[in-house]
Structure 1
Amino acid sequence: MSPASEAGRPRASRSVAAPLVLLALLAGCAQEGDFGRPKPGAWNSLIDTTGTLAARGRDEPSSDFPFTDEERILRDRAWRFLMPAAGRDAFTDGLANLTRSRLLPPAWRPSDPSAYHDTLMGEDFRSPVSRYRRLSEDIGTDARLIPQFVALAARVKEADALRLRSLPFVKTLDDHDIHHAAMRVAENRCLIAWVRLETGLRAAGYRYALEHLLIEAPGPEAVLAERTLAALDGRRPLLDPLVPPEAEVRCGLVPEVEVETVRKTVAAKPIVAKY
């Protein structure tokens, strides 16, 4: 390789890295509303629109059709599960939002069960009791929101079924209309599969945090945290009937082996021994 080529390699790397850093910082500015949902506004809409175009460029399901009210609410509800369970730093959260908005492909993001624990313990606190309380609150919020997401997803699926049944009877449709109708159905199903995958990864992170917190600072508060985690694990299967078992793989979210690993967390053994 010529010296000129060698000299050009760092510059090429920087030319790729710099826009990525800028995009991550910009995405980190995404505004969060109540209940872990994105705050309505032009900035968040711009990020989502750009993500749709990026997904289309990767040949992922992407439709030109406007969202129905329930499709938009479904995406708002998915926000909590597609973002990190605990914020870490502007860059990491920015990359997560780029992934959530589909500017980056979902499969690139590595799963790290220790990330939630590291953030939980990295924050300033006076008593370990506050760490158990924060852990229980985060788990409990996920557990409460899953049934709401499932009910909404079921209504979106019913509307999609009506859409598909109606296609043969609408004679004025062209290939563009049919294609984007199919793409919207695929988008909705892949979003549901993505949330199902992420709830498993979040549960694994919570379990890791509880296991390590129990050793670092044992206390009776661990019992409540484990009960809350059991409630989350009990509600995660509500997502299973919404999409086929292989949906995460077919949507390109993860390799098949990782899906099986996440699913095994449901049958994990109890963490806290009786006091």
Structure 2
Amino acid sequence: MRLGVIALLTLNLAACTARPVGDFGRAAPSWTHDVAMPANGRVRAAERGEPVSRFNQTDQERLMHDRVWRFLVAARAKDWVYDSQAELQRTRIAAPGRDLQFRTDRYYAWLTRTPYNSSPTRYSTVGRHIVADLDTLPATFAAICAVQEIDRQRAVALSGLGNLAPDAAANVAARKYENDAFIAWFVRALTYRYDSYDHALDNLLVETPHEQSIAVDDALRRLRVDVVRAQRGEFCVQGGGHRPGIGGVVIPSRYQHSGDTEVVLPK
């Protein structure tokens, strides 16, 4: 009875509040979101038949979760990436994959509803959001790479050591499942953000054409490079920065026609 009441209260709290964030969009400490909701979520995940590891998180895993979180939500955009839904999915209270239903037109809808003194300011807003993603992606990729290495080290230790707890293998497999699922979610979230920016820029070009769109388009093409890297699982690629293309293929501007390199300014 007590567990049922606690679960109900946890769900009520989750329904009315998103996870708090601190500097640079990273998660801020919260007993409700860090302890109560995840505990409830582990029970629910096990009931659904999902692997649940009893291992403590490593520092690398904790850092990865903190860095990835800013890509799963966007508080400044008033829930255009479904902040409350993301928190239910993160804590495993909700089944995985809810983000697959997210609509990419919400970001543009938020932009058009937000009052600005000047229409080009909307381009500036999109540009700032893209640049913020570009600035934080290298550290996020590095954090994911570190967790992948931890999973590799666990597998090596499991195969080479004796005198292990009876559930060691199950916990290693479950943690690998949890980490892989979280990384896959990040890839989907990054793709969703790119698609949302892309949709917004196309529609802004029709609604309020302005030459400032060229700078936004350039930033979006640089973001696309990292999106493709994430989709390929290339989190541990050294060096690089934001390259203009991948594998020798240049990502074209929306102002370039097929076979034509001339940049055309919006009128």
CA contact (8 A) 1:128 1:217 kept: yes
> Shift in Å at residue 100 of structure 1?
3.0
Shift of the alpha carbon at 1:176? Answer: 1.5
Which blocks of at least 5 consecutive residues in structure 1 are unaligned? 1-17, 244-265
Q: Are positions 1:72 and 2:62 aligned together?
A: yes
Among candidates 139, 146, 164, match of residue 148 of structure 1 = 139
SS of aligned partner of 1:175: coil
1:41 aligned to which of 30, 42, 48? 30
Deviation at 1:91, TM superposition (A): 11
- Encode CA deviations 1:163-207: one digit per residue, 9 max, x unaligned: 111113332223322101111112112211111121111111110
What is the aligned counterpart of 2:207 among 216, 219, 222? 216
- For the aligned residue pairs, the C-alpha RMSD in angstroms reads 2.8
Task: Check whether the contact 2:126–2:216 (CA below 8 A) recurs between aligned residues.
Answer: yes
1:123 aligns with 114
Q: Which residues in structure 2 correspond to 1:7-86 (within 5 Å)?
A: 22-28=12-18, 30-46=19-35, 47-84=37-74
> Which 10-residue stretch deviates more, 43-52 or 218-227?
43-52
Identity %: 28
- Equivalence for 1:14: none
SS in 2 for 1:103: coil
| Distance in 2 separating the partners of 1:82 and 1:53 | 23
**Structure showing the higher helix proportion among its residues:** 1
SS at match of 1:66: coil
Q: Partner of 1:270 in structure 2?
A: 253
Corresponding letter in the other structure for 1:35: F
Tell me, in whole angstroms, the C-alpha distance in 2 between the residues paired with 1:21 and 1:268: 44
Indicate how the Cα distance of structure 1 residues 56 and 137 shifts in structure 2: closer, same or farther if over 3 A, else same: farther
CA contact (8 A) 1:85 1:116 kept: no
- Structure 1 segments, 4+ long, off by >6 Å, are 18-21
Using the alignment, how far apart are the partners of 1:59 and 1:94 within structure 2?
A: 24
What TM-score, normalized to structure 1?
0.76
Q: Which residue identity lines up with residue 199 of structure 2 in the other structure?
A: Y
Of 215, 224, 233, which aligns to 2:224?
233
Is 1:160 matched up with 2:151?
A: yes
Aligned to 2:78: 88
- Return the match for 2:175 from 162, 167, 184: 184
Deviations 1:187-228 (A, max 9, x none): 112211111121111111110000001111111110111011
Q: For residues 210 and 241 of structure 1, what CA distance do their matches in structure 2 show?
A: 25
How far did residue 89 of structure 1 move? 5.2
